[in-house]
C-alpha cells in the first residue's frame, strides 16, 4: 500500500495527468477484483457449508429409514407368524376337526396378538418444519420420502383397525370359550360356528393387508436408500 501511495503521489507531483488516470483506473480495477474474489470466497464457503448440511441430512434420513426397515421387517415376521396360525385354525374349524382341540385352543388364545409398527415420527413433515427440505436438491428423494410417510400413515391406520377388531370382537369372543391360563377350550360349540370362523377370516384378511402395506413401505425404503447412496457417492 505504501508503494502504491508513493507512486500516486509521484504522479501528482509530476503533473502527469495521463499516467495518473491510467493508474487510477488500474487501482479501481484492483479493488474491484479484490471485492469480486472476496464474494467468490464467501460464496464458496457458503456452498461448501450448504453441501455439508445437505449430506448430513441425507445421512440422517438414511440412518432413520434403515432403522425403520428393521422394525418393519420384525413386524412382518410377527404378523406372518400369527397369520399362519390363524389360517390353520380356520382350516380346523372348517373341517370340524375336534381331534385338534388343544391346538385350536392355543391358536384361539393368540387371536389377541397383533403387530404394531406405530411409527410416530414424520420424516417429511420434520424436514419441512425444520427447513432442512430446502437443503435437498434431489427432488426424487424428497418425493419418495413424502410417499414413504404416506405408507407409514397407512400402516398406522391398518394397525388401528386391527387393534379395534381385536378389542371389540376377538377379545370378547375368546374370553368365554377358552381358559387363558391353560389354553383349554371350555366351550368348543362356540368355536365351531360360522360366526367364530368369520372372526378369524376377518383377522386374517386384515393381516394380509398389513403384510402388503409393510412390504410396500420396505420397497419404498429400498428405493430411497439407493437414491441416497448414489447421491452420497457423487458428493
Q: Is residue 145 part of a domain?
A: yes
Structure confidence at residue 42 as a pLDDT band (50, 70, 90): low
| Alpha carbon distance 112, 115 (integer Å) | 10
Q: Among 8-17, 70-79, 104-113, whose mean pLDDT is lowest?
A: 8-17
The x, y and z cell numbers of residue 29, run together, are 480495477
Instruction: Give the global pTM.
Output: 0.79
Lowest mean pLDDT among 44-53, 61-70, 120-129, 134-143: 44-53
pLDDT given for residue 135 in this prediction: 86
Give me the mean pLDDT over the 100-126 stretch: 87
Is residue 63 situated within a structural domain? no
Residue-level pLDDT at 2: 46
Q: Report if residue 191 sits inside a domain.
A: yes
Is 10 contained in some domain?
Answer: no
Residue 3 domain-assigned?
no
pLDDT, tens digit, for every residue of 132-171? 888 889 999 999 999 999 999 999 999 999 999 999 999 8
Mean pLDDT of the chain: 85
**Statement: residue 65 has pLDDT above 90:** yes
Q: Total domain count for the chain? A: 1
How confident is residue 121, by pLDDT bands cut at 50, 70 and 90? low
Residues spanned by the domain of 108: 71-234
Q: Read off the pLDDT of residues 173-207 as tens digits, 9 standing for 90 and up.
A: 898 898 888 888 899 899 999 999 999 999 999 99
Q: Is residue 206 part of a domain?
A: yes
Instruction: State the cell numbers at 56.
Output: 448430513
Q: Is residue 31 part of a domain?
A: no
- Let me know if residue 149 belongs to a domain: yes
Amino acid at each position: 500500500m505504501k508503494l502504491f501511495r508513493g507512486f500516486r503521489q509521484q504522479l501528482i507531483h509530476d503533473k502527469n495527468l495521463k499516467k495518473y488516470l491510467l493508474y487510477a483506473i488500474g487501482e479501481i480495477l484492483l479493488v474491484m477484483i479484490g471485492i469480486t474474489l472476496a464474494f467468490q470466497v464467501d460464496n464458496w464457503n457458503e456452498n461448501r457449508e450448504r453441501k455439508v448440511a445437505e449430506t448430513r441430512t441425507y445421512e440422517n434420513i438414511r440412518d432413520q429409514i434403515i432403522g425403520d426397515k428393521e422394525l418393519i421387517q420384525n413386524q412382518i415376521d410377527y404378523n406372518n407368524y400369527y397369520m399362519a396360525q390363524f389360517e390353520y385354525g380356520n382350516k380346523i374349524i372348517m373341517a370340524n376337526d375336534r381331534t385338534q382341540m388343544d391346538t385350536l385352543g392355543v391358536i384361539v388364545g393368540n387371536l389377541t396378538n397383533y403387530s404394531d409398527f406405530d411409527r410416530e415420527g414424520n420424516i417429511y413433515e420434520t424436514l419441512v418444519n425444520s427447513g432442512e427440505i430446502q437443503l435437498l436438491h434431489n427432488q426424487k428423494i424428497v418425493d419418495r420420502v413424502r410417499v414413504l410417510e404416506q405408507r407409514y400413515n397407512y400402516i398406522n391406520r391398518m394397525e388401528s383397525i386391527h387393534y379395534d377388531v381385536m378389542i371389540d370382537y376377538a377379545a370378547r369372543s375368546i374370553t368365554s370359550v377358552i381358559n387363558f391360563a391353560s389354553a383349554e377350550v371350555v366351550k368348543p360349540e362356540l368355536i365351531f360356528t360360522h360366526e367364530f370362523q368369520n372372526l378369524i377370516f376377518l383377522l386374517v384378511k386384515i393381516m394380509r393387508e398389513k403384510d402388503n402395506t409393510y412390504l410396500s413401505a420396505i420397497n419404498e425404503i429400498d428405493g430411497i436408500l439407493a437414491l441416497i447412496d448414489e447421491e452420497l457417492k457423487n458428493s
